[in-house]
Amino acid sequence: MTTLLAIGTQKGLFLATSDDRRTWQVGPAQFSGTAIYTIGVDNRGSRPRLLAAVDNSHFGPSVAVSDDLGETWAEPDSAPIAFPADTGVSVERIWQIVAGEPGVIYAGSQPSALFRSTDGGRSFELVRGLWDHPHRTEWGAGFGGQAIHTILPHPTDPARVLVAMSTGGVYRTSDGGETWAPANKGIKAYFMPDPWPEFGQCVHRVARDGADPDRLYAQNHHGVYRSTDGGDSWQSIADTLPSDFGFPMVAHPSRPGVIWNFPLTADSQRHPTELRCRVFRSTDGGDKWEAQETGLPDGPYYPVVLRDAMCADDGSPAGVYFGTRAGEVFASHDEGETWTMVAAHLPDVLSVRAVSV
């Protein structure tokens, strides 16, 4: 089996391939000089479809589509994701692209909005139910902007979708996007006058357990949480982590309770804890965490891993991948037990996705 690792950076898309997930061949930059904030993967056809969020500093954001694993790309003449004229706003950036039910692709944008495609990602329509939500005017902007960066369609019920944004919190729909409700009970927002608000939390990432769709894990701006009821309530799972601050959260695609996290020091510094390059894994849903650093660089280590720059594949055992703002990319073929370097000296890594081909 060959694994394709798509690496989105501040200055282009790099595609790496491996037959054993230990040694890698990295191709040249595609969309050179253009930021790739996220890469979507649709595995429902005969071959995976790749969707790259291309953020051109001159022409603005767009979505490029490839049906041949990045050999060629199709990019529309006009932006496929755009706000209707009556909204009075424009898309600043595309933060997430995710496959939903068959034939549907979702995209999350800055400013915070959800878009839906029914033609494989070639055109999108605004999900009005979320855009017209009465809370929207009170959603704030995180340090990176006001954006929907997490989209989790339910694996068995197409009417149920969960999104998360900075800042605004977690929202859910159970009727296909017509109506939305906040789902933040138990998530603390220490920076707000009321530290337990209905909405307004600065969520950094949410992941869905690969074995239990009602079990969710969240990394917040100070706070790591688990929900066992689909987001009705959340409980802290940060006690045995060295820090409750960070950006990514990744769940194993099939093993229940297995998750990965990359903790950072307080937000004024944003360095890896103890200046050591370490991934932390839990095998019991976050009750206990263990450091995984065999094969990773020795300290002192300063680069940060962003929210979309960590992922897992569906291999057995699962492969785990992350990239840093120093342009380094690492891979583990054994669920984080050992690590090898995929690439170094790339531009800032913004996103990584692994595809089995």
Q: Which residues contact 281 (CB under 8 A, 6 or more apart)?
A: 258, 259, 260, 261, 289, 290, 292, 335, 336
pLDDT digits over 307-349, tens only? Answer: 999 999 999 999 999 999 999 999 999 999 999 999 999 999 9
**Distance in angstroms (rounded) separating the CA atoms of residues 334 and 319:** 6
In tens, the pLDDT along 175-207 reads 999 999 999 999 999 988 999 999 999 999 999
pLDDT greater than 90 at residue 267: no
Residue-wise pLDDT for 94-131, tens only, equals: 999 999 998 899 999 999 999 999 999 999 999 999 99
Assess whether pLDDT exceeds 90 at residue 249: yes
| Whether 323 contacts 26, CB under 8 Å | no
Nearest to 354 by CA among 37, 10, 40: 40
- Residue 2 reports pLDDT greater than 90: yes
Q: Which domains does the chain show, CATH number per domain?
A: 3-356 (2.130.10.10)
Banded pLDDT at 57 (limits 50, 70, 90): confident
- Reduced to 3 states, what is the DSSP secondary structure of residue 229? coil
Distance CA 21, CA 260 (A): 18
CA distances to 4, 126, 136, 283, 295 from 90, in Å: 33, 12, 16, 42, 44
pLDDT above 70: percentage of residues in the chain? 100
Write the pLDDT tens digit of every residue in 270-312: 999 999 999 999 999 999 999 999 999 998 999 999 999 999 9
- What is the number of alpha carbons within 13 Å of residue 287 lying toward its C-beta? 4
